[in-house]
Structure 1
Amino acid sequence: MTQTGLSIAVIGGGIGGLAAALSLRQAGFGVQLYEQAAALGAIGAGIQISPNGARILHRLGIAAALAPHGVRPVAVHQRRWDDGRTLQRAPLGDAVEAAFGAPYYHFHRADLIAALAGALPADSLRTGHRLVDAVDKGDRVEARFDNGTRITADILIGADGIHSRVREVLFGAEKPRFTGCVAYRGLVPAERLAQLDLEVTANNWMGPAGHLVHYFVSGGRLVNFVAVREADSWTRESWTDRAETGEALRLFEGWHPQVRAIIGAVDETFKWALFDRDPLPRWSAGRIALLGDACHPMLPFMAQGAVQSIEDGAALAACLAQSGGDAPAALTRYEALRKPRATRLQEMSRHNKIRFHLPDGSRQQERDALLQSSGDRSLAAIGWLYAHDAGALGEQAA
Structure 2
Amino acid sequence: MLNGQEITVLGAGIAGLAVATALAQRGAQVRVLEQADAIREVGAGLQVTPNGVAVLRALGLEGALQAAAPLARAVQLRDFRRGDPVFRLDLTRPDRPYHLTHRADLINILRQGASEAGARIELGQHVTGVDPEAGQMLVNGHTETAPLIIGAGGLHSPTRAALNPGGQPFFTGQVAWRSTIPWDDPATPPEATIHMGPGRHLVTYPLRGGALLNVVAVEERDAWAAEGWHHRDDPQAPWRAFVDFCPEVRDILYRAEEVYLWGLFRHPVARNWGQGRAAILGDAAHPTLPFLAQGANMALEDAWVLADCLDTHATTEAAFATYQARRRPRAARVIDAASRNARNYHLHPGPTRAAAHLALKLGTRLAPGLAARRFDWLYGHDVTRH
* TM-score for the superposition, normalised by structure 1: 0.90
Among candidates 323, 343, 355, match of residue 334 of structure 1? 323
- Residue 274 in structure 1 maps to residue 264 in structure 2: yes
In the TM superposition, residue 229 of structure 1 has moved relative to its aligned partner by 0.9
Among candidates 194, 199, 202, match of residue 204 of structure 1? 194
Deviating more after overlay: 19-28 vs 123-132: 123-132
Q: Which runs of 5+ in 2 are unaligned?
A: none
- Residue 117 in structure 1 maps to residue 111 in structure 2: yes
Deviating more after overlay: 282-291 vs 295-304: 282-291
Q: Is the contact between residue 32 and residue 119 of structure 2 (CA under 8 Å) also seen in structure 1? A: no
Residue 73 of structure 2 aligns with which residue? 74
The structure 1 segments of at least 4 consecutive aligned residues displaced by more than 3 Å after TM superposition are 373-379
Give distance in 1, aligned partners of 2:285 and 2:2.
28
- Residue 133 in structure 1 maps to residue 129 in structure 2: yes
Give distance in 2, aligned partners of 1:246 and 1:232.
19
Task: Summarize the Cα distance change of 1:235–1:253 in structure 2 as closer, same or farther, 3 Å threshold.
Answer: closer
Letter in 1 for 2:359: L
Letter in 2 for 1:99: D
Question: What are the Cα deviations for residues 191-246 of structure 1, in whole angstroms up to 9, with x where unaligned?
Answer: 3x68xx64321111110010000001123311101011112121521212212222
Q: Is the contact between residue 54 and residue 384 of structure 2 (CA under 8 Å) also seen in structure 1? A: no
Deviating more after overlay: 14-23 vs 197-206: 197-206
Give distance in 1, aligned partners of 2:233 and 2:378.
35
Give distance in 1, aligned partners of 2:40 and 2:144.
24
Residue 175 of structure 1 aligns with which residue? 168
Letter in 2 for 1:73: A
Residue 24 of structure 2 aligns with which residue? 25
Letter in 2 for 1:279: V
Q: Is the partner of 1:273 in helix, strand or coil?
A: strand
How does 1:53-202 map onto structure 2 within 5 Å? Answer: 53-93=52-92, 95=93, 98-100=94-96, 103-121=97-115, 124-137=120-133, 141-148=135-142, 150-153=144-147, 155-191=148-184, 198-202=188-192
In the TM superposition, residue 124 of structure 1 has moved relative to its aligned partner by 1.1
Give distance in 1, aligned partners of 2:123 and 2:196.
40
Give distance in 2, aligned partners of 1:8 and 1:377.
45
Q: Is the contact between residue 65 and residue 109 of structure 2 (CA under 8 Å) also seen in structure 1? A: yes
Letter in 2 for 1:254: D
Letter in 2 for 1:63: E
The two structures, once aligned, show a CA RMSD in angstroms of: 2.0
Give distance in 1, aligned partners of 2:65 and 2:339.
30
- Residue 264 in structure 1 maps to residue 254 in structure 2: yes
Residue 356 of structure 2 aligns with which residue? 367
Residue 9 of structure 2 aligns with which residue? 10
Q: Is the partner of 1:351 in helix, strand or coil?
A: helix
Q: Is the contact between residue 301 and residue 350 of structure 1 (CA under 8 Å) also seen in structure 2? A: yes
How does 1:282-293 map onto structure 2 within 5 Å? Answer: 282-293=272-283
Q: How many residues align?
A: 380
- Residue 392 in structure 1 maps to residue 385 in structure 2: yes
In the TM superposition, residue 311 of structure 1 has moved relative to its aligned partner by 0.3
Q: Which runs of 5+ in 1 are unaligned?
A: 394-398
Give distance in 2, aligned partners of 1:69 and 1:88.
28
Letter in 1 for 2:310: L
Task: Summarize the Cα distance change of 1:316–1:89 in structure 2 as closer, same or farther, 3 Å threshold.
Answer: same
Question: What are the Cα deviations for residues 150-173 of structure 1, in whole angstroms up to 9, with x where unaligned?
Answer: 1322x2111110111111112224
Question: What are the Cα deviations for residues 175-199 of structure 1, in whole angstroms up to 9, with x where unaligned?
Answer: 11111111111111223x68xx643
Give distance in 2, aligned partners of 1:342 and 1:264.
36
Q: Percent identity over the alignment?
A: 36
Task: Summarize the Cα distance change of 1:68–1:149 in structure 2 as closer, same or farther, 3 Å threshold.
Answer: farther
Q: Is the partner of 2:293 in helix, strand or coil?
A: coil
Question: What are the Cα deviations for residues 237-284 of structure 1, in whole angstroms up to 9, with x where unaligned?
Answer: 121221222211111011011111111112211111111122232222
Give distance in 1, aligned partners of 2:110 and 2:303.
13
Letter in 2 for 1:208: P
Letter in 2 for 1:177: F
In the TM superposition, residue 79 of structure 1 has moved relative to its aligned partner by 0.7
In the TM superposition, residue 361 of structure 1 has moved relative to its aligned partner by 0.8
Give distance in 2, aligned partners of 1:351 and 1:376.
22
Give distance in 1, aligned partners of 2:284 and 2:9.
12
In the TM superposition, residue 76 of structure 1 has moved relative to its aligned partner by 0.7
Give distance in 1, aligned partners of 2:14 and 2:85.
33
Task: Summarize the Cα distance change of 1:278–1:377 in structure 2 as closer, same or farther, 3 Å threshold.
Answer: farther
Give distance in 1, aligned partners of 2:167 and 2:370.
34
Residue 396 of structure 1 aligns with which residue? none
